[in-house]
Amino acid sequence: MSILCPFPTSPAAPPPMEDDDLLSEILLRLPPQPSSLPRASAACKRWRCLVSDPAFIRRFRRHHRRNPPPLLGFFSQDAGGITFTPTMEPPNRVSPGRFTVLPEARVHSKLLACRHGLVLMFHQQLKRVLVWDPVTGDQRSRAVPHPLAFGTDKTPRGAVLRAAGDARHFRVVLASCDRPQQHTRAFACIYSSETGVWSDLISTPVPSEEYMTLSTMPAVLIGDSLYWAITGNWRAVLEFDLNRQSLTVIHLPVDKLACCKPWNITVMPAEGGGLGLLFMSGLSAQLWESNIDSDGVASWVLGRTIELDKLLSLNLKREKRFLMITGFAESNNVVFLRSVVGLFMVQLDSLQFKKISEITTGYWYHPFESIYAAGNSMHFTLRV
């Protein structure tokens, strides 16, 4: 005799790999390497439709934003214009042609900064800043504010960053040093794409009788502050607090940093957090940490010293002539070093290194750290 079930039975759940929602969650957790999504798309037509959906790509980038993004390469500028150089190995190596700046921007623009997958340029003729996302092709152009501070013949220093967890909006900070009268002052202002307006001009005195300027080395983001080195006959760091929108000049231990030049020092996060310095003393990299008291006065302590000639196997006298800091990737804690035998990148935690090229072009390198889904890049079109 058969027994009838008093309740209707629900249909059987589909196998996990046939459930699009569940499959999307699985694919979302693939490593954020350039080859991950192309490999997944090659599995079958259904997977290809899922991973090529713009909504999925946006979720993929948001999901991995909490971790350090891959260091895809760097942008640099020389007489020929702005170019991209990849640093990853196949199959994750991005072709240099995927991130191409069109001629009208390449010739007339000055490369200022890269951060959070965005590139910031300054159009010298039009006095406008250009923000470009090389992965999506999105770009914005805005007139430079406060012409007395930033619209002169000089090129301002700049930084670009996204708000935490916000892929749509970004902020641009412009900074400069000038000496309109007897004393040098530092200036800054900030633009928000969310409000579409620039802030009022912020300034602070630089306590030096000598003419000072901001280093052309890109700013470093530590916590909620941006830092530029101040160069000249007197050494300091300019801090821009993003939350308070204030400027502070922090003195450097010049008595401890012999032969301090713009190319042998950079701001970096300290190993214990907070403000740190990377200083090249000959062929040794010194990592300094700051302790800032309640009055805002910084004292500096030497942490680690890395013997780079031994690490990089520089043997000949010619090879040991000098090492020059040319860039710093803050999310991956990687420093770019130029020598007479080529360009190196060194990961300061693991001390793993890689020789990128035997030929070096440009002066500063702007590391490009971003989640990149291959096949979704576009060329940059200049709009003003």
pLDDT at residue 166, as a whole number: 65
Q: What is the dihedral of CA 127, 133, 136, 142, to 10 degrees?
A: -30
Helix/strand/coil percentages in the chain, nearest 5 = 15, 40, 45
Q: Which helix (H) or strand (E) holds 326?
A: strand 324-329
pLDDT at residue 233, as a whole number: 61
The tens place of each residue's pLDDT in the chain, 384 residues long, gives 555 555 555 565 666 567 888 999 999 999 999 999 999 988 899 999 999 898 898 889 888 887 889 999 999 988 778 889 999 999 999 988 888 876 666 667 899 999 999 999 998 888 889 999 998 888 899 998 887 677 665 788 999 998 766 678 999 999 988 765 666 788 999 999 999 999 999 999 887 656 677 888 899 999 999 999 887 666 788 999 999 999 999 888 767 665 667 678 889 999 878 899 998 887 888 999 988 777 767 788 888 999 887 788 766 555 556 788 999 999 999 999 988 788 889 999 999 999 888 766 667 899 999 988 754 433 333 333
Report the candidate in 359, 355, 278, 360 with the shortest Cα–Cα distance to residue 311.
355
pLDDT at residue 214, as a whole number: 83
Unique residue bearing structure tokens 């500096």: 300
Q: What's the Cα-to-Cα distance from 51 to each of 64, 72, 137, 198, 203, rounded to whole Å?
A: 15, 20, 18, 37, 47
**Between vectors from CA 42 to CA 41 and to CA 45, what angle results, nearest 5°?**
70
**Between vectors from CA 205 to CA 204 and to CA 210, what angle results, nearest 5°?**
145
Q: 332 burial class (0-12, 13-18, 19+ CB within 10 angstroms)?
A: middle
pLDDT at residue 11, as a whole number: 60
Tokens standing for 175?
A: 């900074």
Give the full edge-to-edge strand order of the sheet including 365-369: 81-86, 71-78, 365-369
Going by their DSSP bridges, the two strands 185-192 and 202-205 should be labelled as antiparallel
3-state secondary structure of 277: strand
**Between vectors from CA 112 to CA 353 and to CA 124, what angle results, nearest 5°?**
145
Q: 3-state secondary structure string, 154-187?
A: CCCEEEEEECCCCCCCEEEEEEEEECCCCCCEEE
pLDDT at residue 346, as a whole number: 93
Residue 36 CA neighbour count, 13 Å, CB half: 18
- pTM recorded for the entire structure: 0.86
Q: Which amino acid is at 101?
A: V
